[in-house]
Structure 1
């Protein structure tokens, strides 16, 4: 059972103090993390409950232990090396690096994966793109330093290749580079053995892997090239490999060993063909096909037939699909997968008549049981057959004569599953249920795959109670992690409900945690979204701790975005989004500077400059220099303080700026400081930055003039500075923006001694004496608000009503508010640095 984090523990987590889990492995977005922040070193800390009265303490709940992330053994070594590499620091001892590297890949080899469709496999799980990147960096270092690749046996290299060629769930940007490094090392050592005179048999023995030969490494390499988008290179590599294959004797006789090598080469050529098809390289695909047929004598066998037919079928190329499908096979029978590709192709392209003739030919050709399953699916998908019709087809299937008269072709669990899948594919859950009942009627017990399909289509149909029933049955019989894809889908459906059943969600996640299953990123995102919305912060902590450490950077971005969206949701209270931000900071240190700036703006918009500036401070204190704020971000923060003043936050940010040796002062920064200090009620210091601007090489901007006029309005005797600036602008014959003109009027009006001069200037403005603008709402509003006395305000209002009645009427529509300085109109004055 999950225990609950205590309020005290939560505070400690948010504060980053004792009991808080260190930075997770995910800091790798910037690949700059210190070893002490590794998730692998997360301590198991017992956390105390906050003080609460109980009846003699007998009902006190036990303390909770923080759940440590399930980090693969050896992963800490990869992380630590990269952190030190980025910091240009001395790496750890070579022996420890080699041990950690091997430990990581040996662990991944033991951890079995799940195939497409949810079937349990005997194949090692894959590594994600971030793990592959770390492995590349460390292996490159080990190969380049003293000792080179001698620390790895051929068996070690085989294990690395076995893992690296597995397609990851997301991007595979670094997998091919890892394979290149490992294969290059294996090839170098084999070539060296040839150079010193060892024979091929001796080399094979030296490799030391039972039932393997040196071509095994080349086979892995070709597999990686064809899986990771380099099939054209694979063509060249295979062409060179082909030239080295044994030739027949003078009498044209091949030995058995020769035949084995040639068959192995043909299998690799099939991989290359499939790779070209997957990459959509039609011209290269056809060229290679013709070359294999003409030069290598490769026959049109079922595997090649499937590749070429499926290539055109998936692209809805009608004539080409029919051509390659109808091309006679050299030997063997058409694969069931090819038939299914053709069935779906024909349905998409309205080729049912052609498809029916194909299926009739199949039925009359005494198909295998697997092909009969395809025929039955065709009957459901294309012909709309129901249960009774399928029963009739069963009789035809069972009446088919086989080579063994004592053996009949009988429907089995795979047959029922294929029928249920076909019904689900046409969005007919009722028919799917009928086929499931048919299996019971025929005493064909449901398989795990049956339950997986049922759970899937019930979720699609929105039958959550039916899905829960199947899920409960499934958990009693599931053996591996074959249910993981559909259970992830089930969790996402629960989270998407209008009223998510929290107890049910927590129960399902607890089951997966008990089985050490890592959730898909989209599922983790959905869980975090629900737990945050229902204020289940402790569940968010558990979910992030247990799953995100195993994600690649791209996968982590999916979860991170959910938290950012939650923080930016103005419907949620500031206290709750601040707690969410603290979790984001703790678990996602790779959050980009751009994202952090948007979050900072969010808290400014919530009128919490203190929180916004704490976010700025977290950027400033980030361990990676690339994540720290530049001058533009300093300016943006100061502008936020200018909108929502907070003197303490301003002092904090200004002190950071003083200590920041990477930022060079410029006019925009001085503008930001002048704006922020003026907004925080310190116009004297604000004017000090104006002097810094005038003494600088860059000089003032129009934004500087607008801000300094406002500072003059706020400062005692500020009109004197304003007059000096105004005279200089007039003398230089500068084009004066309206915001600067309005600001000058405000500075004069604030003195309480220049009302007549202000009116005269407004009159000149009205007459448009080369200014390019007239009196506006801001002109009258700024002037009225700046006048310090009530008597002066009333006199100005009476004058404005007579001289500028329409503009004054517009101003009055904005409304007034009472302040300690008298009434002021609600005009918006937003300055930018």
Structure 2
């Protein structure tokens, strides 16, 4: 059974009672508003009520709730009040909530997402710009609070959307710390100001603002140099290295070399950390000349390169067929009394670059032991990575056996690597066996490395050709029990599988446990996939409705345009009632920005014209009457005519024609086509169409073809065969062009009774044989309850 979580926050935050509101900057960033005082009822199809006959069955499973991160609800509450210009919550509570949130992020090593970074920024700005109402120290932020928040900000993916949120937060924290140090130096914090500046540089270079980091460093140089322009302390090299790392990460080669030149002119030494930046940068771009040049450049005091630099060099040499160049380097390294980490690199080189097999590796391991370096789990990891880089899973399995023979205890990293090559080979059975061993390991729940491979495993299970739903449920339950948050892509795969198997409660559990922890960008990835699932015509209507109900419940921030696409998909499924329910849900949304526009009203009414439903039409009309934000104009009256004509209420439809003719705007060409289409369905003798046509002729208007054939349809709809013949024959004189196949087809379809249709067909074949032949060829006919008709679709547009 999947574990039951007890906290009740998620639906209180994201239910319809607490909708999102756009931020002043125009981007809807805040996740939710905390207005909910009661829980909405689940909107998926529910199990039937228990009766006497099923009283001994197990009760329906309760929906699990996510454990909201400590302090996160405070951030949401503050943002909700801020967007409404309402009085913020109690300051003491805000400070306490922020401290809880930052402490949790530090202790759990869980990253900030972009939405959380934005929310923390808004709350911090408020706390910084306002003063406590009392003199209680606990009600204000301390240096330590700001410092810890700055440190926690660095715990986020480097490549992420909207990284400027992290940059803005980091800059604001640093400036406040700098200001406080200037006003009252923190003597107790040794090197505090220096450390804060390093943290700022780390944030800027990590989140794509390396050029700003360089600018800040240039401004900071005077404090780092002595009167001769030389660095006061070698420790300042780390700041310089951070700037170089950022420029390399962003691929800014010219700026990287320029910054290197400036730093060396200031006395900075070419140390291993800088050497690694340059070699890794050029090796990653497979620039052979530059990589060799920088690798061979002497280091300060003949220090050896870092181990990671050797690894990058080895990979580069294999990719670019430069083993002849790298081999003497590695052989020299082997003869220089290598340390244990270097021995591990030598093992990696032997397998990847020299293509050594198991027996050769055993010999290297024996030499290691003779040199006093015992092979351990890190050594085995290097061997496994080399085999994976060679895409040789059999060799990797052999190295596992070697490790076992040497008594090397397997650590989670080994199982993770093993699952990687098994999943790459689509060996789901082998991967599951490895997973079982990994989950029984002591470090399973504490090892953050596990999350990546387990997400990959679940995604492959969920997209396999043969789906094992029970295994998917078991693995999902295990990960939930260990509080492992799934990636958005994994949640998408799981949700689609659960929807396919009609496991709505598992969809609810998955969404409620994970999406509350996502940023808006990550949530959008999940909601977009669910929308596409709903739009797939192969998905049954019942499943689409269930999926939409969950979308509405869990993603109140879903854009109106996507909701309109869902509405139109139900029209295409010939379910106008469901389409109008979606529109009604938009209409009642708590956020005015999510409510329908005039164009959306028109699109819904047009849909009702194509797929008629009288009750839904009246409901839509009533919503329009009560919506004071939507102006009534010709296009809206056109749409109402279309909807009521589709519902068969001709008299009401003609009332809107009266509104159009009495308005200052007057009718459009679409209005003319629509009113003629309405007249086509009048069951009694009526002169409306003729009256409108006569006015058109008196005004000497240019008549588009779709208006003319609509007029012909109006005459034909009342059985006026002879009159419609005369109108068609007189087209050249009255409108300046002759009939087309649509003119004849619309007229034929509108004529009541097979006798009139036969009369018109005989006449058309004689008068316009080529046009009639094209009509029969392109459209074709079928028998209907009201007689034979050509396959002509007339989608009236307002």
TM-score, normalization by structure 2: 0.91
SS at match of 1:60: coil
Q: Is the 8 A contact 1:643 1:679 kept in 2?
A: yes
Partner residue of 1:221 out of 200, 217, 230: 200
CA distance in 1, matches of 2:646, 2:673: 13
CA distance in 2, matches of 1:384, 1:699: 83
Counterpart position of 1:424: 388
The structure-2 alpha-carbon separation of the partners of 1:48 and 1:807, relative to structure 1 and needing over 3 Å to count, comes to closer
Partner residue of 1:506 out of 452, 473, 491: 473
Q: Is the 8 A contact 1:336 1:370 kept in 2?
A: yes
The structure-2 alpha-carbon separation of the partners of 1:68 and 1:18, relative to structure 1 and needing over 3 Å to count, comes to closer
Q: Is the 8 A contact 1:24 1:37 kept in 2?
A: yes
* Match status 1:100 vs 2:97: yes
Per the TM alignment, residue 232 of structure 1 is displaced from its structure 2 partner at its CA by 2.3
Structure 1 stretch 783-792 or stretch 381-390: which is displaced more? Answer: 783-792
* Match status 1:74 vs 2:74: no
SS at match of 1:816: strand
CA distance in 1, matches of 2:125, 2:41: 31
Counterpart position of 1:31: 30
Counterpart position of 2:2: 2
* Match status 1:547 vs 2:480: no
Counterpart position of 2:744: 780
CA distance in 2, matches of 1:349, 1:718: 87
Q: How does 1:694-705 map to 2 (within 5 A)?
A: 694-705=661-672
Partner residue of 1:173 out of 140, 155, 164: 164
Per the TM alignment, residue 102 of structure 1 is displaced from its structure 2 partner at its CA by 2.1
Partner residue of 1:232 out of 187, 211, 214: 211
Q: How does 1:530-679 map to 2 (within 5 A)?
A: 530-679=497-646
Residues 512-545 of structure 1: CA distance to partner in whole angstroms, max 9, x if unpaired?
Answer: 1111121111111111011111111111010001
SS at match of 1:174: helix
Residues 651-685 of structure 1: CA distance to partner in whole angstroms, max 9, x if unpaired?
Answer: 22222222222222222222111111111111222
Counterpart position of 2:113: 128
Counterpart position of 1:306: 276
SS at match of 2:35: helix
SS at match of 2:784: strand
SS at match of 1:35: coil
The structure-2 alpha-carbon separation of the partners of 1:273 and 1:32, relative to structure 1 and needing over 3 Å to count, comes to closer
Counterpart position of 2:25: none
Q: Is the 8 A contact 1:167 1:227 kept in 2?
A: no
Counterpart position of 1:12: none
The structure-2 alpha-carbon separation of the partners of 1:32 and 1:656, relative to structure 1 and needing over 3 Å to count, comes to farther
Counterpart position of 2:256: 285
SS at match of 2:783: strand
CA distance in 1, matches of 2:284, 2:794: 60
The structure-2 alpha-carbon separation of the partners of 1:605 and 1:30, relative to structure 1 and needing over 3 Å to count, comes to farther
CA distance in 2, matches of 1:494, 1:151: 50
SS at match of 2:98: helix
The structure-2 alpha-carbon separation of the partners of 1:702 and 1:433, relative to structure 1 and needing over 3 Å to count, comes to same
Residues 108-138 of structure 1: CA distance to partner in whole angstroms, max 9, x if unpaired?
Answer: 22213xxxxxxxxxxxx22100011111112
Q: Is the 8 A contact 1:108 1:163 kept in 2?
A: yes
Per the TM alignment, residue 65 of structure 1 is displaced from its structure 2 partner at its CA by 2.8
CA distance in 1, matches of 2:270, 2:13: 65
CA distance in 2, matches of 1:127, 1:286: 32
Residues 532-580 of structure 1: CA distance to partner in whole angstroms, max 9, x if unpaired?
Answer: 1111111101000101000011111221122112111111210111011
Structure 1 stretch 139-148 or stretch 580-589: which is displaced more? Answer: 139-148
SS at match of 1:477: coil
Counterpart position of 1:816: 782
CA distance in 2, matches of 1:433, 1:276: 39
The structure-2 alpha-carbon separation of the partners of 1:534 and 1:791, relative to structure 1 and needing over 3 Å to count, comes to same
The structure-2 alpha-carbon separation of the partners of 1:19 and 1:374, relative to structure 1 and needing over 3 Å to count, comes to closer
Partner residue of 1:243 out of 205, 222, 225: 222
Partner residue of 1:491 out of 436, 444, 458: 458
- What is the number of equivalent residue pairs in this alignment? 775
Partner residue of 1:459 out of 401, 413, 423: 423
* Match status 1:204 vs 2:187: yes
Q: Is the 8 A contact 1:25 1:549 kept in 2?
A: no
Structure 1 stretch 302-311 or stretch 631-640: which is displaced more? Answer: 631-640
Partner residue of 1:272 out of 243, 248, 258: 243
* Match status 1:338 vs 2:309: yes
CA distance in 1, matches of 2:275, 2:14: 58
* Match status 1:413 vs 2:377: yes
The structure-2 alpha-carbon separation of the partners of 1:4 and 1:637, relative to structure 1 and needing over 3 Å to count, comes to farther
Q: Is the 8 A contact 2:15 2:556 kept in 1?
A: no
Counterpart position of 1:405: none
The structure-2 alpha-carbon separation of the partners of 1:623 and 1:56, relative to structure 1 and needing over 3 Å to count, comes to closer
Q: Is the 8 A contact 2:30 2:115 kept in 1?
A: no
Per the TM alignment, residue 19 of structure 1 is displaced from its structure 2 partner at its CA by 14
Counterpart position of 1:185: 176
Residues 167-205 of structure 1: CA distance to partner in whole angstroms, max 9, x if unpaired?
Answer: 237333311111222222222222112xxxxxx5xx323
Q: Is the 8 A contact 1:674 1:687 kept in 2?
A: yes
CA distance in 2, matches of 1:811, 1:499: 48
CA distance in 1, matches of 2:211, 2:309: 25
CA distance in 2, matches of 1:20, 1:30: 13
SS at match of 1:204: coil
Alignment root-mean-square deviation, CA: 3.0
Partner residue of 2:706 out of 725, 736, 739: 739
